Amino acid sequence: MWTRDGSSVHATVQEHGDVRLYRLHVSSAQAAVVINDPGTVGSFSIGPTGQIAYAHSSPSDLAQLYVRNAQGATLRRPAR
């Protein structure tokens, strides 16, 4: 999924049994891990301010919805 400004693309990558979310900066071809939590990043969406909403599950936990800022920090679960 492309960022709003077209400078980066986000994609999930399977590594060592986990599925992580990466950001690839187009101009530099540098990849960075955005979400590196143990388990699986499922569907995700990027908001206009760069916030990332995503589903995350693990072998011990059903999928939950989370939101992070553009840098991958400030993990929180939206109110139910």
- pLDDT tens for residues 5-26? 899 999 999 999 999 999 999 9
Q: What is the mean pLDDT of residues 44-52?
A: 90
Within a domain: residue 56?
yes
Within a domain: residue 75?
no
**pLDDT confidence of residue 74:** 65
Angle 47-43-74 from CA coordinates, rounded to 5°: 55
Within a domain: residue 26?
yes
Within a domain: residue 80?
no
* Residue ranges making up the domain that contains 27: 8-68
In this predicted model, which residue has the larger pLDDT, 77 or 50?
Answer: 50
Within a domain: residue 52?
yes
The total domain count for the chain is 1
Within a domain: residue 46?
yes
**Is the Cβ–Cβ distance between 44 and 26 less than 8 Å?**
no
Question: Hey, which bits of the chain come out as E strands?
Answer: 8-15, 18-25, 30-35, 40-46, 52-58, 61-68
**pLDDT confidence of residue 69:** 84
**pLDDT confidence of residue 79:** 59
**pLDDT confidence of residue 50:** 86
